[in-house]
Amino acid sequence: MPALYDITPFSLLDYPDEMSCIVWFAGCNMRCVYCHNPAIVTAKGGKDEAELFSFLEKRRGKLTAVVFSGGEATLYAGLIDIARRVREMGFKTKLDTNGSRPEVLKKLLKEKLLDYVAMDYKCPPHLAPGLIGTDKLWPLFQESLGLMIEASAQGEVTFEVRTTVSPDLMDEAALNDIIRDLGEKNYKGTYYIQNVFAHGEKTIGKIDAPSRKVDPALLDQPQGFTLAFRNS
Ligand code: SF4
């Protein structure tokens, strides 16, 4: 059963231009081979909601935002209630998600409980079994992507799409599939490509260190949106 795992009390990196804390949710419905948080993915708990809100009470006026991350935060049954309370306390909210739970996103968007959503576009569907451990979540991810592109076009929420990649596991041709799909869906934000953060024993798939980085010269020109690199 997904649960609260931990709280990072302060970050200037995870929510652009905000002083945020990060709430980590245990449990995930994917098993990305490059995942560098295996402890969170398999954890059963760590903190409870009372601890979270006691922490937030003390941070009123000091922090400006709360980031929900994981693991996969949308698996946590109480996420919507938490987001409601966090907003009532005056904090902005950001959700990091793998996009596999459109029904939760829909509720969060309907109540306008999110200011920022960062969604992982893991890979094209043919690579999903080997890279994220399942090919069952693709239709749900596509639904989430459509929901978020529409919500951001209406100015309801800031939305970013990102892909973590080792070119040994997913090459530029696969990234071009994603670039094409985002263009066809009329995505207007920034698409971030970031190199894997870890390798070896720290990762779920105990992956090898990448032999190279993504070659920008092999990527197609995005149509209607911006392409950017992180930690390249
Ligand atoms: S990287 Fe993959 S397995 Fe790890 S938390 Fe994110 S979605 Fe889950």
> pTM of the full predicted structure?
0.97
| Residue 1: predicted pLDDT | 63
Asked if residue 2 has pLDDT above 80, the reply is: no
In the prediction, which pLDDT does 214 show? Answer: 94
Taking residues 25-40, report their average pLDDT: 95
CA of 135 to the centre of ligand 1 (A): 14
Average pLDDT over residues 13-38: 96
Mean pLDDT of 66-86: 97
Is cis: bond before 205, omega within 30 of 0? Answer: no
Q: Give the whole-number percent of the chain exceeding pLDDT 90.
A: 94
Candidate of 23, 31, 37, 96 to mutate for ligand 1, largest count of ligand atoms within 8 Å of Cβ:
37
Q: What number does the ligand 1 atom closest to the CA of 38 have?
A: 4
Nearest CA to ligand 1 atom 2: 32
pLDDT at 131 over 90: yes
User: Sheet harboring 190-195: ordered strands across?
Assistant: 3-11, 20-26, 65-70, 92-97, 116-120, 158-165, 190-195, 226-230
- Cα(12) to ligand 1 centroid in Å equals 22
User: 70 in ligand 1 pocket by Cβ < 6 Å?
Assistant: yes
Identify which of 67, 72, 76, 121 to mutate to test ligand 1's pocket (most ligand atoms within 8 A of the CB): 72
pLDDT at 8: 97
Q: Helices 49-59 and 79-88 meet at what angle, rounded to 10?
A: 20
Q: Counting atoms of ligand 1 from 1, which one is nearest the CA of 34?
A: 1
Give all domains of the chain, ordered by start, each with its CATH number. Answer: 3-230 (3.20.20.70)
Residue 46 pLDDT grade (very low, low, confident, very high; cuts 50, 70, 90): confident
Residue pair 48/95 in contact by the 8 Å Cβ criterion: no
